[in-house]
Amino acid sequence: MSYTVGASSQGGYDQMQLEQTALWENFYSGDTQVFYPSKFAESVLPQLTAGWDILDAGCGNGRDSIFFANNGMNVTAVDRSREAMIHIKTCEPRVHAVCGDILTAPVFAAETYDGIYSRFFIHALTAEQEAVLLERCYTAMRKGGRLFIETRCTEDALCGEGERLSDTEWVLDGHYRRFIVPEQLTARLSALGFVHIHSICAKGFAPFQEDDPVILRITAEK
Ligand SMILES: C[S@@+](CC[C@H](N)C(=O)[O-])C[C@H]1O[C@@H](n2cnc3c(N)ncnc32)[C@H](O)[C@@H]1O
């Protein structure tokens, strides 16, 4: 698989999207996925109030959406993997599972959510997609609503590994990743109107098998 035409040309971009979707369908059909809640979700839960409306953007198999629903939240979960969505619908019908591209999914009506949660997803989007998503998130949050993001960042040892698309975009073993520059993301959130923006980069947030990458966590408020 090669992306030498670059993520910025439409043909290369479309090809990349198709291949990324296939990759995740394969992952969610297999037996290496995990179903227990992430450490990030466990750290976010005490900041939520039972009964809140939560959007999980790029929810995967719903490991965290289901965790939030089990703890009293009304959860809408979006992902474009059909396999992942079938799993959520089968296991936890209380989660409103929407299968589709986050950029076109009909889940961003104004002032709908008390919290928007997104784990290991922003780095799967191009910078242009991220800008669209964050603007929609801001609109869709109620005043005082909370945003929770966990993502790969430029301090990750994988940044620089594989095929280079740009200084921050790399494709390794078929995975497109755009390693987030923390200051750029916080500046973007601030420009949108988010306040009380906190960011932290550290190891120990998302260890998986032999890996313990430096991960970026951001919280912000509308
Ligand atoms: C690394 S997984 C994270 C899943 C989940 N949040 C977790 O922490 O386990 C990234 C997810 O993003 C989804 N995805 C990537 N691009 C997407 C897009 N444009 N719209 C919706 N989902 C997308 C993939 O299908 C995949 O499930």
For the chain, the domains span 10-221
Residue 118 Cα: closest atom of ligand 1: 6
pTM of the predicted structure, to 2 decimals: 0.95
Q: Measure CA of the first residue to CA of the last residue in the chain; give whole Å.
A: 41
C-alpha span between 92 and 111 (Å, rounded): 25
Least confident segment among 3-7, 39-43, 164-168: 3-7
Pocket test for ligand 1, best of 56, 119, 121, 137 (most atoms within 8 A of CB): 121
Distance 163 CA to ligand 1 centre (A): 21
Tens-digit pLDDT profile for residues 78-122: 999 999 999 999 999 999 999 999 999 999 999 999 999 999 999
Query: Do 41 and 66 touch, CB atoms closer than 8 A?
Result: no
CATH architecture, domain 10-221: 3-Layer(aba) Sandwich (3.40)
Pocket test for ligand 1, best of 38, 42, 59, 79 (most atoms within 8 A of CB): 79
